[in-house]
Amino acid sequence: MTSFIAPALSYSLLAPILIVLGGAVLGVIVEAFVSRAHRSTIQLSITLGTLVLSLAQVWRIRHASSLTAAMGSVAVDGPAILLQGSILIIAILGVFLIADHDHFTTLAASLPGSPEEREAQQSGVKLTEVYPLTLFAVAGMLLFPIATDLITLFVALEVLSLPLYLMAGLSRRRRLLSQEAALKYFLLGAFSSAFFLFGSAFLYGYSGTVSLAGIHDAVEASPGNQVFLLIGLAFLSVGLLFKVSAVPFHAWTPDVYQGAPTPVTAFMAAATKMAAFGAMLRIFYTSFANAYWDWRPLLTVIAIVTMLFGAVVAIAQRDVKRMLAYSSIAHAGFLITGVLALTKSGLDATIFYLFAYGIATIGAFGIVTLVRDSSGEVTDLNRWAGLGKRSPFIATVFATLLLAFAGIPLTSGFIGKFTIFSAAYEGGNKAVVVVGVLSSAIAAFFYIRVIVLMFFTDPVEDGTSVVIPSILTRATVIISFAITIFLGVLPTPLLNFIHSTATFIR
Partner 1 sequence: MNNAWLTSLGLLPLLGALLVSVLPEKNILLIKRVAFGTTLVVAAVAIAMATRFQRDNVNLQFVETHQWIPSLGINYAVGVDGIALVLILLSVLLAPVVVLAGWNEATGGRWGVKTFYILMLVLETMMIGVFASTDVFLFYVFFEAMLIPVYFLIGGYGSGARSAAAVKFLLYSLFGGLLMLASIIALYVLSGDQGGHTFDINALSHLHMSSTTENMLFLGFFIAFAIKAPVWPFHTWLPDAAEAATPGTSVLLLGVLDKVGTFGMIRYCLTLFPHATKTFTPVILVLAVISIIYGAFLAIGQKDFKRLIAFTSISHFGFITMGIFAMTSQGQSGATLYMFNHGFSTAALFLVAGWMSSRRGSSKITDFGGLQRVTPVMAWVFFFAGMSSLALPGLSSFVSEFLVLVGTYTRYPVAAVIGAFGIVLAALYILIPVQRSLHGPVTEGNENLPDLNVREKVAIAPVVAVILFLGFYPSPLLQVINPGAAHSIAQAGFSDPISSIDKAGK
Q: Which residues here bind partner 1, judged by CB under 8 A?
A: 389, 403, 406, 408-410, 414-415, 417-419, 421-422, 425-426, 430, 433-434, 437-438, 440-441, 444-445, 448-449, 452, 455-457, 490-492, 495-496, 499
Cα–chain center distance at 150: 20
Question: Could you tell me which of 52, 58, 51 has the C-alpha nearest to residue 134?
Answer: 51
Cβ-based neighbours of 301, under 8 Å, separated by 6 or more: none
Output the smallest distance, CB 167 to partner 1, in A: 37
Output 74 or 394, the one with its CB closest to partner 1.
394
Instruction: Check if the beta carbon of residue 87 is closer than 8 Å to that of residue 138.
Output: yes
Output 365 or 481, the one with its CB closest to partner 1.
481
Output the smallest distance, CB 245 to partner 1, in A: 24
Cβ-based neighbours of 428, under 8 Å, separated by 6 or more: none
Output the smallest distance, CB 485 to partner 1, in A: 12
Output the smallest distance, CB 402 to partner 1, in A: 12
Output 74 or 304, the one with its CB closest to partner 1.
304
Output 183 or 438, the one with its CB closest to partner 1.
438
User: DSSP assignment of 121-177, as one string?
Assistant: HHHT----THHHHHHHHHHHHHHGGGB-BHHHHHHHHHHHHHHHHHHHT-BSSSHHH
Calpha distance 272→154 (Å, rounded): 15
130-149: burial string, b at 16+ Cβ within 10 Å, e else: bbbbbbbbbbbbbbbbbbbb
Output the smallest distance, CB 459 to partner 1, in A: 11
Output the smallest distance, CB 382 to partner 1, in A: 15
Return the SS3 of 460: coil
Output the smallest distance, CB 495 to partner 1, in A: 4
Output the smallest distance, CB 436 to partner 1, in A: 8
Per-residue three-class SS string for 1-26: CCCCCCCCECHHHHHHHHHHHHHHHH
From the CB of residue 99, how many other CB atoms can be counted at a distance below 10 Å?
A: 22
- Measured in degrees and rounded to the nearest 5, phi and psi for residue 121 equal -65, -40
Output the smallest distance, CB 334 to partner 1, in A: 13
Output 228 or 486, the one with its CB closest to partner 1.
486
E strand map for 406-450: none
Output the smallest distance, CB 336 to partner 1, in A: 17
Question: Could you tell me which of 46, 56, 137, 60 has the C-alpha nearest to residue 91?
Answer: 137
Output the smallest distance, CB 433 to partner 1, in A: 6
Output 199 or 407, the one with its CB closest to partner 1.
407
H or E element in which residue 61 lies: none
Per-residue CA distances from 282 to 149, 211, 342, 355, 364 (Å): 11, 12, 11, 17, 29
Output 168 or 349, the one with its CB closest to partner 1.
349
Output the smallest distance, CB 404 to partner 1, in A: 12
- Measured in degrees and rounded to the nearest 5, phi and psi for residue 114 equal -85, 160
Question: Could you tell me which of 482, 479, 481 has the C-alpha nearest to residue 93?
Answer: 479
Output 36 or 389, the one with its CB closest to partner 1.
389
Output 217 or 426, the one with its CB closest to partner 1.
426
Question: Could you tell me which of 364, 359, 355, 203 has the C-alpha nearest to residue 278?
Answer: 355
Output 393 or 445, the one with its CB closest to partner 1.
445
Output 92 or 450, the one with its CB closest to partner 1.
450
Return the SS3 of 66: strand
Calpha distance 220→214 (Å, rounded): 10
Output 259 or 427, the one with its CB closest to partner 1.
427
Output 134 or 350, the one with its CB closest to partner 1.
350
User: DSSP assignment of 350-391, as one string?
Assistant: HHHHHHHHHHHHHHHHHHHTTEEETTEE--BGGGGTTHHHH-
Instruction: Check if the beta carbon of residue 182 is closer than 8 Å to that of residue 169.
Output: yes
Output the smallest distance, CB 456 to partner 1, in A: 4
Question: Could you tell me which of 51, 239, 222, 231 has the C-alpha nearest to residue 144?
Answer: 239
